[in-house]
Amino acid sequence: MGHGWQGAVLKLMRGKDFTFTVRSNERLSERLHRLSFDDGGMLQATGVHPTMWVRLWFDNGGRPHQRAYTLVEPDPAAGTFGMDFALHSGCASDWARAARPGDTIEATVQGSQFAVPDPLPSRLLVVGDAASRPAIDSLLDAMPQTPAVIWYETAHPRDGDHMPQGGGGSRELVPVPRRDGGGHLVETVREALPKRLDDSAYVWIACDTATTRTLAAFAHKQLGVPKERLYALGYWRAD
Ligand SMILES: Cc1cc2nc3c(=O)[nH]c(=O)nc-3n(C[C@H](O)[C@H](O)[C@H](O)COP(=O)(O)OP(=O)(O)OC[C@H]3O[C@@H](n4cnc5c(N)ncnc54)[C@H](O)[C@@H]3O)c2cc1C
């Protein structure tokens, strides 16, 4: 499958292409599949960083459909990693439901970058959901002793089965049911964040695109969180 104009742009941006092979596909619930992959040489070539994600190319009726997924427990020596697919109606989700050992998928590595802040923040203030849960776990694992508050949006009762667990330090997990297209999460975080913020806290936000944008603007413009202590990336687009 060609990657169309998106693939051409990524090539110009020095994206690196790899082919992954499915090793296993575990159905954790009707909302979550955990796949493991052989990395096609990727991890040795690119190295690994916290919250690392790659662009996968799915076939959508002959047309390229590119979506981002986060590496779980990448192991460069073994050349393997996992991915957790939070399922809904969508081409990537359909592929993950049906994937079998030996299936292959093409991937491009471009755009993922994250470095643990130095010096370490006083605390992590995290906003996310099932799509960003693998990234949240990776973030918490990368700063295991840093206290964290996680506002975690759940859209389905089964989302509560797999909540962030990473790291070993003090963790306060605040489940927030998804209501009003993310409006309830926005209200909850706008109310709580100012009370948790201090001069060296780090704010990390990854939920649906509109909610992410609203909360990032709130943190930066209204609370004055500087850009170097704020990471925000929309992980999915709500209809
Ligand atoms: C950097 C990055 C890393 C990511 N890592 C992961 C990961 O590790 N695991 C993971 O599950 N997702 C992850 N995502 C999110 C994933 O890429 C999106 O959910 C993507 O839209 C799924 O594609 P799709 O083809 O299944 O659905 P699409 O064709 O994009 O959308 C189909 C329909 O499903 C809805 N939809 C899409 N995503 C979601 C969702 N998450 N929740 C509810 N409804 C949704 C859309 O609104 C639309 O109605 C990541 C995204 C980014 C940007």
Read off the pLDDT of each residue in 170-190 and give the average, rounded to a whole number.
Answer: 96
Expressed in percent and rounded to 5, the helix, strand and coil fractions of the chain are 30, 35, 35
pLDDT tens profile 199-228: 999 999 999 999 999 999 999 999 999 999
Which of ligand 1's atoms lies nearest the C-alpha of 96?
26
Our answer on whether the CB atom of 67 is closer than 6 Å to any ligand 1 atom is yes
Give the CA distances from residue 187 to residues 12, 162, 171, 210, in Å, rounded to whole numbers and listed in that order: 40, 24, 21, 14
Helix pair 209-217, 183-196: axis angle to 10 deg: 30
Question: What separation in Å is there between the alpha carbon of 69 and the centre of ligand 1?
Answer: 8
Q: Which two tokens stand for residue 127?
A: 């906003």
Our answer on whether the CB atom of 23 is closer than 6 Å to any ligand 1 atom is no
Our answer on whether the CB atom of 95 is closer than 6 Å to any ligand 1 atom is no
Question: What separation in Å is there between the alpha carbon of 210 and the centre of ligand 1?
Answer: 14
Can you give the pLDDT at residue 15?
A: 77
DSSP annotation string for 53-72 = EEEEEEEETTEEEEEEEE-E
Q: Which helix (H) or strand (E) holds 81?
A: strand 80-86
3-state secondary structure 168-194: CCCEEEEEEECCHHHHHHHHHHHHHHH
pLDDT tens profile 70-96: 999 999 999 999 999 999 999 999 999
Average confidence score pLDDT of the chain:
94
Question: What separation in Å is there between the alpha carbon of 235 and the centre of ligand 1?
Answer: 7
Beta bridge partners of 190: none
**Phi and psi angles of residue 193, each rounded to the nearest 5 degrees, phi first:** -60, -45
Can you give the pLDDT at residue 158?
A: 81
Single-letter amino acid code for the residue at 117: P
Our answer on whether the CB atom of 90 is closer than 6 Å to any ligand 1 atom is yes
Whether residue 3 has pLDDT greater than 90:
no
Question: What separation in Å is there between the alpha carbon of 94 and the centre of ligand 1?
Answer: 11
Pocket test for ligand 1, best of 6, 88, 212, 233 (most atoms within 8 A of CB): 88
Q: Half-sphere exposure of residue 213, counting CA atoms within 13 Å on the CB side?
A: 5
Whether residue 1 has pLDDT greater than 70:
no
Instruction: Classify 180 in phi/psi space as left (phi over 0), alpha (psi -120 to 50) or beta.
Output: left
Our answer on whether the CB atom of 231 is closer than 6 Å to any ligand 1 atom is no
Can you give the pLDDT at residue 104?
A: 97
